[in-house]
């Protein structure tokens, strides 16, 4: 500010916003991220503007998740108005970010936006919309050979299909999750996929297979010493 470096001020405000988000000070975080956005727009800095929109989306997403943890939801379909409103705001900012990064031709950033849109729609209970976004995320992850993002997309697609009652489809996605987590040699994630498959086969009433996957989960949990 002293030297009149507006772009520097914008970036510093964004960093403050991200730090405040991690500290759980969501309202202060929004103020800082909004300053990042305002200055970026004033300076015609499209990349900075896109980043600020994404960061504000992340603050609302984190706040929404935080608020929903504090709510003992009896009914999966019910979201308190404050939680719903917060997640919808997150979604709006991700949408704005998405259209800007499309304009900028930044495929990697598009992938991140699709993933987060999928996650917010999932939390809002809009499972079909979540699936559409996660499929886009998956395509971009494959384009970049980003195995970790691919694995997350498969897992998220599995979760959304379970809640739509499409257990057979979700089992296929979880199998792909399992395959990729083995390629990544990530045992904790592999165990998680086995657990999901165990539950899905229970829902499909294929108990032999359910037992098989739950045993695999158990073995890895023991190997990792995860009580």
| 90-112 pLDDT per residue, tens | 999 999 999 999 999 999 999 99
Considering 127, 145, 163, which residue would you say is the last residue of a domain? 145
pLDDT for res 73:
52
Same domain as 24, residue 96: yes
Q: Per residue in 48-73, pLDDT tens?
A: 999 999 999 999 999 999 998 876 55
> Average pLDDT over the chain, rounded to whole?
95
Q: Do 197 and 116 reside in the same domain of the chain? A: no
Choose the final residue of a domain: 126, 145, 164: 145
CATH code, domain carrying 156: 1.25.40.10
Could you give the number of structural domains in the chain? Answer: 2
Q: Kindly report, residue by residue over 125-137, the tens digit of the pLDDT.
A: 999 999 999 999 9
Of 74-78, 205-209, 217-221, least confident by mean pLDDT is 74-78
What gap in Å lies between CA 95 and CA 103, rounded to an integer? 13
- Residue 76's pLDDT is 58
In terms of domains, do 170 and 111 share one?
Answer: no
Same domain, 137 and 159: no
Q: Does residue 152 share a domain with residue 176?
A: yes
- Residue-number span of the structural domain to which 39 is assigned: 1-145
Segment 191-209 mean pLDDT = 98
* Model pLDDT, residue 57: 98
**Confidence band, pLDDT 50/70/90 cuts, at residue 35:** very high
Last residue of a domain, one of 95, 122, 145: 145
pLDDT at residue 77 in the model: 64
Whether residue 155 sits in one domain with residue 109: no
Which pLDDT belongs to residue 125? 93
**Does the pTM exceed 0.75?**
yes
Same domain, 113 and 188: no
Q: Which long-range contacts (CB under 8 A, 24 or more apart) does 74-83 make?
A: 76/125, 76/163, 77/125, 79/123, 79/124, 79/125
- State yes or no: pLDDT of 75 exceeds 70: no
| Inter-CA distances, 117 with 5, 52, 60, 96, 194, Å | 33, 16, 12, 11, 26
Q: How far apart are CA 27 and CA 13, in angstroms?
A: 14
Q: Pick the residue with more confidence: 168 or 70?
A: 168
User: Is it the case that residue 74 has pLDDT exceeding 70?
Assistant: no
């Amino acid at each position: 500010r002293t030297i009149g470096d507006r772009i520097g001020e914008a970036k510093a405000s964004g960093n403050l916003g991200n730090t405040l988000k991690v500290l759980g000070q969501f309202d202060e975080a929004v103020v800082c991220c909004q300053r990042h956005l305002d200055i970026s727009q004033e300076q015609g800095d499209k990349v900075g503007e896109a980043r600020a929109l994404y960061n504000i989306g992340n603050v609302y997403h984190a706040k929404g998740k935080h608020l929903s943890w504090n709510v003992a939801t009896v009914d999966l379909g019910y979201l308190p108005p404050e939680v719903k409103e917060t997640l919808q705001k997150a979604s709006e900012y991700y949408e704005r970010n998405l259209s800007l990064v499309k304009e900028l031709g930044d495929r990697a950033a598009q992938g991140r936006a699709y993933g987060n849109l999928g996650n917010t729609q999932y939390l809002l209970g809009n499972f079909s919309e979540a699936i559409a976004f996660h499929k886009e995320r998956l395509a971009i992850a494959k384009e970049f050979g980003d195995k970790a993002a691919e694995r997350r997309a498969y897992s998220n697609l599995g979760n959304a299909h379970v809640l739509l009652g499409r257990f057979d489809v979700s089992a296929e996605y979880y199998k792909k999750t399992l395959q990729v987590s083995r390629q990544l040699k990530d045992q904790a994630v592999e165990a998680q996929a086995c657990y999901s498959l165990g539950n899905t086969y229970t829902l499909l009433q294929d108990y032999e297979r359910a037992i098989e996957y739950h045993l695999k989960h158990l073995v890895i949990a023991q190997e990792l010493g995860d009580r």
